[in-house]
Structure 1
Amino acid sequence: MHRSGVVMAWNVFKFCTVLRGLGSIMIFLVLGIIGLSYYAIVLTNYGPALYSGVLGEAAVALAILVLFHCLLVMLLWSYFSVVLTDPGSVPPNWRPVVDEEKADTIPLTVPDLGSPILSSQSVSLADTSNPRVRYCRKCNNLKPPRCHHCSVCGRCVLKMDHHCVWVVNCVGALNYKFFLLFLLYAFLETTLVTLSLLPHFIAFFNDGVIPGSPGTLATTFIAFVLNLAFSLSLLGFMMMHFSLVSGNTTTIEAYEKKTAPKWRYDLGRKKNFEQVFGADKRYWFVPSYSEEDLRRMPALQGLDFPSRPNSGAQEL
């Protein structure tokens, strides 16, 4: 029994090490797929169509190229916002000041924390069975509500959703909106590329006349297949995440709590949406927040979350 536990822990450690080692490889893979799509759409097919001399073809090509580049800018902006934005970590010497389980404003006293506060303001918990206190045994620190430890990053992440190898980063409180926008724009971009290359794909199998060298034809074929696969995958993944947003849960919370019907953080779809995207509609579709939202919505910072009154003491 002990040996199997050691083996499992070792396998998990190796898995986390592999994920860390992927590093920038995944970023270059994403950029490679984007570059392949750019080559197939702009350089091979619709770029030359602008100079075909046929007014209808040129108009369609212009519309596709403009939309393609607009979506590409938003996709790259959202993607690198996820990659470069820290998802949120526990501030040094953080400790709860309210009873998070009962959702009231009674400060937690020293006995609640299990031991006297040290001179450094850190807390040593001798009794971590107290359900009112969440404690990470790996970081040896208290954990704010909805915070979880990431074994890949080796730290606790605020409102952690999951560790994503595609963005080489954890998805948490401070970059979850950016991740959702990346999914949205990636889906729209891959769908546009798929639909734009579909006529060429059909002509290829109908033995139609397709301009270009064998190399450009192969590039068009590969780009179509890849974008179709990613478009379908992203659709399912995006629908899952937006359903989580509507219930104000994360992936971890949904799996561990099975999205209980009386989830304390479910404030209704509108407010749940604002907990991630902010209340300022001008910023909903850009990977940024208004200063006003950041100032008046503490949930966007990942440390303090409003909850329903008289809700059950359900906390991860």
Structure 2
Amino acid sequence: MHRSGAKMAWNVFKFCTALRGLGSIMILLVLGVVGVTYYAVVLCNYGPALAAGGLDSLFALLVLIVFHTLLVMLLWSYFSVVLTDPGSVPPNYRPLADQERGEIDPLEASEFGPLATPDPANAGIRYCRKCNQLKPPRCHHCSVCGRCVLKMDHHCVWVVNCVGALNYKYFLLFLFYTFLETSVVTLALLPHFIVFFSDGEIPGSPSTLATTFLAFVLNLAFALSVFGFLIMHISLVSANTTTIEAYEKKTTPKWRYDLGRKRNFEQVFGTVQRYWFIPAYSDEDLRRMPALQGLEYPSKPDLDSQEF
């Protein structure tokens, strides 16, 4: 029995090590898909249509403007997720007074047993046995990164980073702009894709046709898959929970961090509307909303004493 457990632990560690090794490969894969799409849309199809003039050139101009705008926002959001630390536990972190008194919800308390805490009599203090440090509320240990991450949602191989408190908004915007971009590309290339199944002669070189076909299939696949992830994360934001918390709190009837849809949304995107659709926060929100820093979160019992 002991050997079986040791073997399972070794396999998990090996899997986590393999995920860390995917880093640059996944970034190159994302950039490769972007490159193929750009070549198909701009250089093979709508660039020549724009230069040809006439009514078709106006439609081509509209497509190219929308395409480049969404592409800039997609890449901005993507590299914001990749390059932004999701949030780590500060050195010498100490819990707030209410946590020290043990006033903690069942989900957080169930994450560790008595042997995991420096003080077994105080179940309100969360402690990570792997990092040998105290853990703030909603913090989880990432086996891939090898550290505790503030409000960890999941480790994403596509962004080669953990998704947590400080980059969750950027990840959502990446999903949002990826869905819009791939949907626009799919619709823009659909007439050219349909031509492949016609009986007439297909204009263009073999490389142009192959690139157009590949770009259409890739973008259609990404649009459908990302749409599912986007819907899932919209439901998580509306309940002010993460992927990990949504799984763990199935046995918890009440979720103390659910403040209502509007405030739940602001916990991720901030209160300043002009910043909602860009991967950045206003200085005002960063100053007034501790939740954006990943250490303190307002909850139902103390809503009256919280200020946003």
Q: 1:200, 1:210 within 8 Å by CA — same for their partners in 2?
A: no
Distance 1:282 1:240, change over 3 A: same
Q: What TM-score, normalized to structure 1? A: 0.89
What is the CA–CA distance in structure 1 between the aligned matches of 2:48 and 2:97, rounded to whole Å? 64
Q: Does the residue aligned with 1:248 lie in a helix, a strand or coil?
A: coil
C-alpha displacement of 1:99: 1.5
Q: Which amino acid aligns with 1:6?
A: A
Between structures 1 and 2, the one with greater helix share: 2
Structure 2 counterpart of 1:294: 286
The RMSD of aligned alpha carbons is 1.8
* Contact 2:117-2:125 within 8 A present in 1 as well: no
Counterparts in 2 of 1:209 and 1:98: CA distance versus 1, 3 Å: farther
2:235 aligned partner, one-letter code: S
**How many pairs are equivalent?**
292
SS in 2 for 1:139: coil
How far apart are 1:131 and its partner, in Å? 2.2
**Partner secondary structure for residue 163 of structure 1:** strand
Deviations 1:235-288 (A, max 9, x none): 000000010000000000001112845200000000000000000001000000
TM-score by length of 2: 0.91
The answer to whether the aligner puts 1:231 opposite 2:223 as a matched pair is yes
- Provide the rounded CA distance (Å) in 1 between the counterparts of 2:251 and 2:72: 35
Of the three residues 263, 267, 280, the one matched with 1:275 is 267
Checking the alignment, whether the CA contact within 8 Å between 1:78 and 1:178 is kept in structure 2 is yes
**Percent of aligned positions with the same letter in both sequences?**
76
Report how far residue 70 of structure 1 moved. 0.1
Question: Which residue type is aligned with residue 262 of structure 1?
Answer: K
Q: Cα 1:84–1:310, aligned 2, differ >3 Å: closer, same or farther? A: closer
Q: Which residue of 2 aligns with 1:46?
A: 46
Deviations 1:25-55, CA, capped at 9 Å, x for gaps: 10010000000000000000000001223x2
Distance in structure 1 (CA, Å) of the matches to 2:173 and 2:200: 38
Q: Which SS does the other structure have where 1:130 is aligned?
A: coil
Q: Write out per-residue CA displacement over residues 277-309 of structure 1, whole angstroms, 9 at most, x where no aligned residue.
A: 000001000000000000000000000000001
Could you tell which deviates more after superposition, 204-213 or 217-226? Answer: 204-213
Judge conservation of contact 2:117–2:123 (CA < 8 Å) in 1: no
Matching of residue 163 in structure 1 with residue 155 in structure 2: yes
Deviation of the 1:98 alpha carbon: 2.3
Query: Quick check: 1:253–1:259 contact (8 Å CA) kept in 2?
Result: no
Q: In the superposition, relative to structure 1, how do residues 80 and 216 fare at CA in structure 2: closer, same or farther (>3 Å)?
A: same
Alignment of 1:132-147 (within 5 A): 132-147=124-139
Change in 2 beyond 3 A, CA 1:261/1:286: farther
Structure 1 unmatched runs, 5+: 104-113, 115-123, 312-316
State the SS of the aligned residue for 1:152. Answer: coil
- Whole-angstrom CA distance in 2 between matches of 1:282 and 1:125: 43
Q: Answer whether contact 1:283 1:290 (CA < 8 A) is retained.
A: yes
Call closer, same or farther: CA 1:52–1:145 in 2, change over 3 Å: same
Q: C-alpha deviations, 1:146-195, integer Å up to 9, x for none?
A: 00000000000000000000000000000000000000000100111111
The aligned residue for residue 21 of structure 2 is: 21
Distance in 1, Cα, partners of 2:214 & 2:47:
18
Matched position secondary structure for 1:289 = coil
Unmatched tracts of structure 2, length 5 or more:
105-113, 304-308
Pairs within 5 Å for 1:1-316: 1-53=1-53, 55-100=54-99, 102=103, 125-128=117-120, 130-258=122-250, 260-309=252-301
